[in-house]
Copies of this chain bind each other. A is one copy, B any other.
């Protein structure tokens, strides 16, 4: 690379987030998932109706003196992340109402281009014990590209198949991280106050990365991002400043088995599959030169040339161009517009021939 900087892979790096980010080479990671401190500013202890104490987030790493201090910290790590992120990469950031508005505004100010905000609806949130607010039942994730014109990855077909063949929406429903997945100390107490469920990361990684690509988590904690990445056959880099968490996450990662390569690969979307030209159908005699194509309503008839051009009156060109011209439409997918007439008078879409060829491997 000529930068003198190495990209460590499949490691959790011990150290301060910003200082460690500065040692990573530029434009080197495909995706970032960041779960930064929440700046909760809890003023006192909170008790349940039965007088038991709620174990709130009061760790030292979560204390900031002011919004200004939090903003300065936020902009510093986000700036380094943007440097480390590839131009075609994306970043996910998760937060609650305490900090997420600072995070989102900072991302926009730094040049990130927001693609979606995604809501994690919690199946089993902590109730509001005082009855003074709505049950805080969700957290917000912001998904952003490097910039407004970035060509980023989105595995549309994979998300759609995950959701019973319907487009994946921006509101996701998952239980909290509990049970065997939740890391605990020897005393049985939870090791980390905000460990995220691996299922959440599974969906994020499946949406935006391919097997073998590199995922960075600058606030690695108990290593949920790394665990999901390893399981899905992605490479990971974690940054964590607490040695306790680093050790615990490395032990956790030892027990994670990558799934089969075939299983980790998501269904390719149509535009990622090898392209088959209309000319192939002509050459192979499926749609012979000189034959006639018609639209669904038999309103237009066009003749196929030996060079795979269509002619219909004055209109000459590709199946798409002629289809668009005849309909006076801005564009037209000729594959799903033109049919050939079979001997028994039925219509067959030319796209069916293409699919047959694709099924035979081109």
Q: Which residues of A contact B (CB under 8 A)?
A: 47, 51, 67, 96-98, 100-105, 107-109, 114-119, 121, 123, 125, 127-128, 131-138, 140, 142-143, 154-159, 161-165, 167-171, 173-175, 198-199, 202-203, 206-207, 232, 259-260, 262-267, 269, 274-275, 277-279, 282-285, 288-290, 303-309, 311, 314, 316-318, 321, 329-332, 359-362
Contacts and interface: CB of A to CB of B under 8 A. Distances in A.
A168 B51 CA distance: 22
A343 B158 CA distance: 29
B170 A304 contact: no
Nearest to A155: B307
A315 to B, nearest CB: 10
A123 B170 contact: no
Contact of A171 (B116, B137, B159, B282): B137
A134 B162 contact: no
13 contacts: A51-B329, A104-B105, A117-B140, A119-B119, A123-B360, A135-B170, A157-B307, A161-B317, A262-B303, A262-B311, A263-B304, A267-B307, A267-B309
Nearest to A164: B277
Contacts of A105: 101-102, 104-105
Nearest to A289: B263
Contact of A308 (B134, B161, B171): B161
B199 A284 contact: yes
Stoichiometry (number of copies)? 2
Given A67-B109, A137-B169, A163-B279, 16 more contacts: A98-B114, A101-B108, A102-B105, A102-B108, A131-B167, A132-B154, A133-B154, A134-B169, A134-B170, A157-B307, A161-B307, A163-B277, A164-B279, A164-B318, A259-B288, A262-B305
B119 A97 contact: no
A127 B158 contact: no
Nearest to A267: B309
B318 A161 contact: yes
Given A119-B171, A142-B97, A162-B282, A259 B289 contact: yes
Contacts of A51: 329-332
Contacts of A142: 97, 101
Given A101-B108, A117-B140, A305-B262, A134 B168 contact: yes
Contact of A135 (B96, B168, B202, B307): B168
B136 A265 contact: no
Contact of A266 (B101, B118, B125, B306): B306
A132 B145 CA distance: 12
Contacts of A174: 283-284
A116 B101 contact: no
A232 to B, nearest CB: 6
B167 A263 contact: no
Contact of A263 (B127, B305, B330): B305
Contacts of A199: 283-285
Interface centre among A102, A269, A332 (most CB of B within 10 A): A102
A305 B101 contact: no
Given A265-B305, A303-B262, A311-B262, A156 B132 contact: yes
A134 B118 contact: yes
